A and B are shown apart, each in its own frame.
Chain A
Amino acid sequence: MKKNGVRAVVFGILLALATGLVVYGIADGGFRDVKNKAIRICNECIGIG
């Protein structure tokens, strides 16, 4: 059960980090950047180059 406890702590830290990254990313314009890339046809993705 000790192993599980360590995992829970790692999980908690990473979850806080992930939430922080998402929140900071949105504030930093990351959501807009992803959207701007995704609303245009990606030439590399479809094989044009």
Chain B
Amino acid sequence: MFISGIKDRFGRFARRYTQLIAAVLYNLNIKGFFTGKIYQGDIKGLCAPGLNCYSCPGAVLSCPLGSLQSGLVSAGLKFPFYAVGTLLLFGLLLGRFICGFLCPFGFLQELIYKIPVPKLKKGKVTRILSYLKYVILVAFVIVIPLVKLAPGFCKYICPVGTFEGGIPLTIKNEALRPLLGFLFSWKMFILALVLLLCMFCFRAFCRFVCPLGAIYSLFNPISFFGVRVNMNKCIGCNKCARDCKLDVRKVCDRECVQCGECIGKCPTSAIGYGIRYKDFRRM
């Protein structure tokens, strides 16, 4: 299966709608935003594929990264097989297609990037910075939870928790306000920095910081579904990588969020969404 004629119909707008629908589906507990209480139903044991804080009053699913860290904190007692297996499954099936289509924070960053200010272009520096997310993954998601018994990324970095959980909960829940201290100020600073950076730099958080994207990027070369190149049509002009706003070197490499922007730009219509292990192989 190879869908290359989607550039007009299933292109940019379809992706926007998919991102919007995913954000709404992850946060269906609308009541929570008014009451300042989080959802406590049974389905919260399921992990969402994208980065969406489980302490968001609207969240009906769990954050996969939060679940992994929380599992690693208690790994001395029990290894988090379920959280690791879920991440592995998402990565194998969709890779970073999740970043491009199913992540609410990625969607927010793309909306912020629409603000008309001068834009930073990709280059050597952004390419080097793209490795930072792997350092953050190892240090804050794996080492700190195992050694310091604290969810390092959630506690010290995650701007999603501040944006989706911290701000709405402290607005509606008076009991939490006296507990706010330096850590909250620090996380507000990180959030402001990330949002500001996203105005100038396309998906700055996804490219340089997000450990979930770092995990999924490892599966991009083997993921079941995603952007594929028909090598019979490809003339090797590299326009796809050149025109991409991300630090990709070729379609579907570790940095590719499989947004499909290159589909309409390919002069020979060689790029499309498809299933691997059929007729088409990676460029």
Contacts and interface: CB of A to CB of B under 8 A. Distances in A.
Interface stretch (B65-73, B102-110, B115-123): B65-73
B67 to A, nearest CB: 5
Interface string A24-49: 11101111111101111111111111
Chain A at the B interface: SS class: helix
B54 A45 contact: yes
A45 B80 CA distance: 19
A10 B78 CA distance: 27
A10 B221 CA distance: 11
Given A7-B222, A45-B161, A21 B42 contact: no
Contact of B82 (A14, A22, A38): A22
B255 to A, nearest CB: 19
A35 B61 CA distance: 9
Interface in B47-72: 47, 53-55, 59, 62-63, 66-67, 70-71
B45 A38 contact: yes
Given A46-B161, A46-B165, A8 B80 contact: no
Interface stretch (B131-139, B180-188, B198-206, B265-273): B180-188
Interface residues of B, number: 56
Chain B at the A interface: SS class: helix
A38 B269 CA distance: 44
Contacts, number: 162
A29 B81 CA distance: 10
B162 interface: yes
A27 to B, nearest CB: 9
A26 B161 contact: no
Given A4-B277, A46-B170, A34 B183 contact: no
A46 B161 CA distance: 5
18 contacts: A1-B281, A4-B277, A4-B281, A19-B85, A21-B84, A31-B46, A34-B67, A34-B82, A34-B83, A38-B45, A39-B40, A44-B151, A45-B161, A45-B165, A46-B55, A47-B180, A48-B176, A48-B181
Given A1-B281, A39-B39, A44-B150, 19 more contacts: A7-B221, A7-B222, A7-B276, A8-B276, A11-B224, A14-B88, A15-B89, A21-B82, A35-B42, A38-B45, A38-B59, A38-B66, A39-B38, A39-B40, A43-B179, A45-B151, A45-B154, A45-B166, A48-B183
The list of the 5 closest CB pairs from A to B, nearest first, reads A30-B82, A25-B82, A21-B85, A35-B45, A25-B81
Interface of A: 1, 3-4, 7-8, 10-11, 14-15, 17-26, 28-35, 37-49
Interface of B: 38-40, 42, 44-47, 53-55, 59, 62-63, 66-67, 70-71, 74, 78, 80-86, 88-89, 92, 150-151, 154-155, 158, 161-162, 165-166, 169-170, 176, 179-181, 183-184, 186-188, 221-222, 224, 276-277, 281
